[in-house]
Homo-oligomer: A and B are copies of this chain.
Amino acid sequence: MKEYILKVDSVDEKGLIYRITDIILKHNLNIHSSSEFVDHENGRFFFRAVIKTDNDINESSFLGSLSGFIPNANIKFGMKRKKDIIILATKETHCLGDLLIRHYSGELDANIKAVIANYDDLRNLVEKFEVPFFHISSNDISREDHEKQVLAKMSEYEFDYAILAKYMRILSPNFVAKYPEKIINIHHSFLPAFIGANPYKQAFKRGVKIIGATAHFVNNDLDEGPIITQDVISINHEMSWQDMRKAGRNVERNVLASGLDLVLDDRVFVYDNKTVIF
């Protein structure tokens, strides 16, 4: 069976689900599963349906009918497909390595098109998996020029998402603006706690009993983008900040992988700097 995903978000108004399901029925299709949410504070409607069918759907005809019926909505519709991603990294192995293994085993529902890093350390690991690796050094070069080179390399690829798998550089607003809602970062703290540099040292100093990690979309404000998922682990007084960092790496890799799963499965809407996730 073929699987199609329909995502609709719109100003809320009466009868939206009725109209959407009317079109689905008129195309003789059956909803396999669906979710709906209305943000009543902002008057915003979100809907996602999985449609399974033995026949091909004429996507543009379907989309045309639907758009005519709910003219103010953002509508995404198409056959479920494996997404293409690019990974940006620096030196750390744990998140990148985890994605490479998941990619290799088919657990990650995406093609890793390339890895770009500002150090060469990760080349050996990446090339084991026959994924193109590009070292674009950030030494002896302005931030602007470095970003230009990275963007140039990225522009050689078609991709759905760029994943910052411990890319330890802050992206400029100009860079971010090129890929709105397409850049996903793993932040090594339970945001908004410990924004900024070395959250594990901050956590150690503060004496917290739980640390965490956050997967989020990147926007102009560092560490302020829409949060996709978060998780935590307990820590205790015996742990140095290095122990916390080690423990935190497990959370980081898990949170990045599960956040990516949600995004790659077309389950995430971004709105009002937050996410709606079905």
Interface, chain A (partner B; CB < 8 A):
14-15, 17-18, 21-22, 24-25, 30-41, 93-94, 97-98, 100-102, 104-105, 107, 125, 128-129, 190-194, 206-210, 212, 226-232, 234, 236-238, 240, 246, 249-250, 254, 257-258, 272-277
Give the number of copies in the complex: 4
Q: Which of B18, B30, B249 contacts A14 (CB 8 A)?
A: B30
Q: Is the interface of A mostly helix, strand, loop or mixed?
A: mixed
Which partner residue on chain B sits nearest A128 by CB separation?
B128
Cβ–Cβ < 8 Å partners of A24 in chain B = 18
Q: Which of B18, B212, B236, B254 contacts A277 (CB 8 A)?
A: B236
> Assuming the A-B contacts A21-B21, A30-B14, A257-B250, are A192 and B208 also in contact, with contact meaning beta carbons closer than 8 angstroms in the complex?
yes
Q: Which of B36, B192, B207 contacts A226 (CB 8 A)?
A: B207
Cβ–Cβ < 8 Å partners of A257 in chain B = 250
- Pairs A–B under 8 Å by Cβ, sample size 20: A14-B25, A18-B18, A32-B38, A34-B36, A35-B36, A37-B237, A37-B238, A93-B101, A94-B105, A97-B101, A98-B98, A191-B206, A192-B194, A206-B274, A209-B227, A210-B232, A234-B234, A237-B274, A237-B276, A254-B254
Distance from A235 Cβ to chain B, minimum over Cβ atoms (Å): 10
Cβ–Cβ < 8 Å partners of A254 in chain B = 250, 254
**Is A277 in contact with B93, judged by CB distance below 8 angstroms?**
no
Q: Which of B33, B98, B210, B273 contacts A231 (CB 8 A)?
A: B210
Complex Cα spacing A229 to B238, Å: 15
**Is B38 in contact with A107, judged by CB distance below 8 angstroms?**
no
**Is A209 in contact with B230, judged by CB distance below 8 angstroms?**
yes
Cβ–Cβ < 8 Å partners of A41 in chain B = 240
Distance from A242 Cβ to chain B, minimum over Cβ atoms (Å): 11
Which partner residue on chain B sits nearest A212 by CB separation?
B210
Complex Cα spacing A234 to B255, Å: 13
Cβ–Cβ < 8 Å partners of A209 in chain B = 227-230
Cβ–Cβ < 8 Å partners of A101 in chain B = 93-94, 97-98, 100-101
